[in-house]
Amino acid sequence: MSKLFPAYRASWETDQHRELRKHAAEFLSKEATPHQERWARQHQVDREFWNKLGNAGLLGLDLPERFGGTGGDFGYSAVVAEELALAHDSSSGWIVHSPIVAHYINTYGTEEQKQRWMPSIISGDAVLAIAMTEPGTGSDLQAVRTTAVRDGSHYLINGSKTFISNGTHCDLLVIVAKTDPSQGAAGTSLIVAETDDRLVGFERGRVLEKVGQHGQDTRELFFTDMRVPAQNLLGDKEGLGFYQLMEQLARERLIIAAVCAGMAEAAVLEAIRYTKQREAFGRPLIKFQHNRFELAELKAETLSIKTTVDYCIQHYIDGNNDPATASMAKLIAADKAVDIVDRCVQFFGGYGYMMEYPIARAYAAARVNKIYGGTSEIMKEIISRSL
């Protein structure tokens, strides 16, 4: 149940979703919130945190029960995405692992691949990452330069990737590579690398110093004649990668929108709490009309984000995986959440600029939501095609 909107209930939210929300909130308040500053200093979460997530049943929420998952709908992932933000988490790579990369394998993997990988994905024994972005290639995925050349029963992969979330901990890496560079988008494939210490030619580069999300292990990755079994190709033939990406990116954008809804709500809750406690000129900050009116406006705008995102989640659950609708959710949620968090910082004065305060970490973490998963400008381009 929302603390900011106690009576609010999304159309898609069932009693099972509400129970999950309570469970996730309790788990994260114990296992994630207290460790944010330490994880930020070490630039990664504890490896055992992934197994704790698995033991808590939070890694297979909408994955098949036969592999150990819950078999729920997309709303299960949306609930946890919101609760991560409400728990002031900016370190874990849960979003990349569970609602995003796991579904590439679940959707396009062979039965043998799923039998081999899915139980470990759901238990947390195998951490997932996806290698899309390259030093010279961002949203234009047709322009990737990493190559995968067939060599007998293996692919030889050469290239480099950057901004890779879960880059330190990943055990399974979905790589976007060109299997036929002459074919443009039609020559792109997705290949899964099992990135253990025995994988010759695989190198984890430096941990990147980001503006925010300091506890997230974001790295550069390098491939030099890296041999990956040809049976690790996702899909029944080469050249399907670009279309697989386009199908799944709508899901990615919608889960980012859910995070943004949670970030906005968390920021407003923090601002209300602080203005009730902090005094100036002999009275609490919330007693000043300007502050009350600003908080009222922020609360109303947060509700507008939630209703927009929840409409799009219902659209997705109903089977309408529409890229334009998901892009609208991400565009509105990301832009408004950045603005709301920024305005909430102002109530804290100098303390809002100190990283020990959750509001400061949220301010630093929020901005990237307008960039990754497709920039706001790309969202507008996708939406414009539906006009």
Instruction: Return the active site residues.
Output: 252
CB burial of residue 342 (10 Å; 0-12, 13-18, 19+): middle
Asked whether 32 and 91 are in contact (CB, 8 A), the reply is: yes
23 CB neighbour count, 10 Å cutoff: 16
* Assigned token pair, 128: 């997932």
How long, in residues, is the chain? 387
Rounded distance between C-alpha atoms, residue 304 and residue 348, angstroms: 24
Query: Which helix (H) or strand (E) element contains residue 202?
Result: strand 202-207
Sequence-ordered alpha helix ranges (H) in the chain: 15-31, 36-42, 47-55, 74-86, 94-95, 102-108, 111-123, 241-277, 289-317, 323-347, 358-366, 376-384
Residue 175: helix, strand or coil by DSSP?
strand
Rounded distance between C-alpha atoms, residue 106 and residue 103, angstroms: 5
Quote the DSSP letter at residue 208: P
Rounded distance between C-alpha atoms, residue 252 and residue 327, angstroms: 10
Angle between helices 323-347 and 376-384 (to 10 degrees): 140
User: Which is it for strands 202-207 and 283-284: parallel, antiparallel or unpaired?
Assistant: unpaired
Quote the DSSP letter at residue 44: S
